[in-house]
Chain A
Amino acid sequence: MNRAGLLFWSTVLAVAVFLVDVLTPLEGAVAVLYVVVVLLAARTTRRDDIIAAAVGCVVLTLAAYLLSHDLNAVASPALCALVSLAAIAITTGLALKNQAATRRLAAQARLPNLSHDMIFVRDRRGVITFWNKAAEETYGWPAEDAVGRIADELLQSTYPDQRQAIEAVLIATGRWEGKVEQRTRAGLKLTVDTRWALQHDHLGKPIGVLETHTDVTDRVAAHAALIQSERRYRRMFDASRIGVVEEDWTGIRTSLGALNVDGNGLGNYLARNPDFVRNARGLARITDVNPALQKMVGARSSSIFIESVDKLLGESDRTFLCALVAFANGEPFYEGETELVGIDGRRVPVLFTITFPAEDDRNVLAFVVDITERKLAQDTLLAAQSELAHASRVATLGELSASIAHEVNQPLAAIVTSGEAGLRWLDREIPDLEEVSAAVNRVVTEGCRAGAIVARIRSFLKKAPADQDVLAVGEIIDDAALLVDRELAKENVTLAVEVAPDLPPIRGDRVQLQQVLVNLLVNAGQAMSEQDGPRIVSVLAGLTEGDILAITVKDTGPGIAADDLARLFEPFFTTKQDGMGMGLAICRTTVESHGGKMTVESSPGSGAVFRLRLPVIQQLTLS
């Protein structure tokens, strides 16, 4: 019954009691029925209604008394009215107290609805008796649908353990916690953190269970994805045939930061400060190496290398410097070729990529491939090539000299023989001057023939055509650097190349110009091979005077004595034990045949500087 109904019937009842009280001779006792009116009004649970009903009843009781009896008649009827009033007052008092308690309870009952967790209460048989707002929202069933259903059936709960075992824990301890899978009304699978608490009645008998659930589906999924990703990485790390080194470069970041050298100048700075590079190698902490890498270097376990990169890299390594520059410039990775040192001191040539994850210096990864076999094959190939080149050079020279010898020998032989025959004719008892004259004529003719042959050969050699290709200087320098790479590495020489951007092309013979640079670089390397100081060759290329390309090859060697300097480009001049003295002579000839100039400067003790100046191709413009 709603409030209006309750109020209506309590009013009707009040009027009825009043009429009976006034119109019938039933003395007093009827008024006690006003108590029912107050109780009816109390059903609305509103304080105002209770008070209004009470006041009404009191007024009616007094009115009935005054109408039926005059004021004089006290005694029995008055006593009855007083009893009725007392009953109304007591009932009202109790009803008000009860109303206050009910309100308090209702407020408490609303609290679970404020929670973000899904909360419901079920009895011992599993029937849901309470279902909060969060449960409605997350599971999808409104409270009126859920209440009365069996919780496990409704939510299709899957428990991590046997249901009975869980129940046993609950009974024994009063609590249970665990991860449970449930399904929503829409069929969505949820993973929830569940907490159960057993409710007891006042006798301590269990009557129900309060279940609180926190949805952790996303958290669990993210965690699972993380674990899977980690497992996948582990599998790659452990099973890969590519060696992997995990490194922590935090110390290097600090050390580079303290340097205060900008990215562009860093390469030069590092080349001049090998101690810094050496120190940085020690700062590149290795945190793990995979089995493939252990095998590569002949280690039994990863622990041997859990130290720093310094131990792993060969003495002659020059890639670490470049990797440092790449790291400092924020590049994501650096690739190169170097040598690792095995446990037994064996050198292992490798190709590697080192990756620098943004903002995580602790997780620098180097991937390493053993190229020993490839290197062997390559070395064999290179050796074969160089042998072939040598053989073909020798063969060409040999053929040339053989054909020159033959060509020139014929007239020479004729001259010698004719001369000697002539002498013999002169020497006879009667000299035969006619024969002598014929012989001398042959000498003259054959002499001229020999001269003509020599002239022909010379002009043939001179005309040997050089290619006239359009060349990018940067490429030529790179190629030459590549060719001398091993030779310089062997001598512990650092090569620093700096080519100005956007250089115009030059015209000439790629191979010849490469040979010039190779010659200069190898010379520089050899010049420094016996000294203790820094061993650096720098190659600079840039424009000068607008249309002249200047290439400078500078070393930090002992320099060239003043006497030698003047004769340096002369053929057959050499300061090397087994030198031919042709290298620089040919270099200068080559540069000059390209329309350029080659000069040298040096002061003993401060290295040598070779300068090449080559004309660039004039850019054609249509204007």
Chain B
Amino acid sequence: MTSPTDKRNSPAQSSPSAIVLIVDDDAAIRASMDSLFRSVDLETRLFASPTELLDSPLPDRLGCIVLDVRLPGVSGLVLQGQLTRKGVDFPIIFMTGHGDIPMSVRAMKAGAVDFLSKPFRDQDMLDAVTSALERDLRRRSEAAAKGDLRRSGY
């Protein structure tokens, strides 16, 4: 258990303008994660369901999604596919109430960057978010480089 006096590694320092999109049907979970991410100076947006997320205009900026796999309506894995089709390429971190090996394998194959069982340690979640954001940053700079090349006529 991480003691409160530990020197905390905050992802905020490395990506000050990043946003974390939290999708969970449990209000208490949403609120507590919102509080956790804000305590390390990450911006958050909260969604009660995958549909809500899909219906909302999403910002084109550095970010990631933290998603509960067992959500009513659309399952987390289906949502991931729908987001990809919609052109939203935020890396996704899955959460689940029960560590289900086949499900985590499928999630990882579908491009999830991490998979955490509830309840998780705050540091694990923050580490997962940090690496997701780094990945998003890399993806963005690669896309930008390709765009530059395309624009320069290659």
Contact = CB atoms under 8 A, between A and B. Distances in A.
Interface of A: 402, 405-406, 409-418, 420-428, 432, 435, 438-439, 442, 445-446, 449
Nearest to A445: B28
Given A409-B98, A421-B122, A414 B36 contact: no
Interface string B24-40: 00101101110110111
Given A423-B4, A427-B5, A442-B31, A416 B119 contact: yes
Interface residues of B, number: 25
15 contacts: A406-B70, A406-B98, A409-B97, A410-B97, A410-B118, A411-B28, A415-B32, A416-B120, A417-B33, A418-B31, A418-B36, A424-B39, A427-B4, A438-B31, A439-B35
B5, B8, B40, B98 — which one has the most chain A CB atoms within 10 A of its CB?
B98
Interface in B29-76: 29, 31-33, 35-36, 38-40, 70
B133 to A, nearest CB: 18
Given A412-B118, A414-B28, A446-B28, A422 B98 contact: no
Given A405-B97, A409-B98, A425-B39, A418 B32 contact: yes
Nearest to B31: A442
A442 B32 contact: yes
A423 B121 CA distance: 13
3 closest pairs, A vs B, by CB?
A413-B118, A420-B122, A424-B39
A438 B34 CA distance: 12
Contact of A402 (B39, B98, B125): B98
B2 interface: yes
Nearest to B39: A424
B98 A417 contact: no
Given A405-B98, A406-B97, A427-B5, A414 B39 contact: no
A427 B7 CA distance: 10
Given A417-B32, A417-B122, A420-B121, A428 B97 contact: no
A368 B31 CA distance: 76
A152 B37 CA distance: 132
Contacts of B26: 410, 414
Contacts of B119: 409, 412-413, 415-417
Nearest to A435: B35
Contacts of A427: 4-5, 8
Nearest to A407: B97
A428 B39 contact: yes
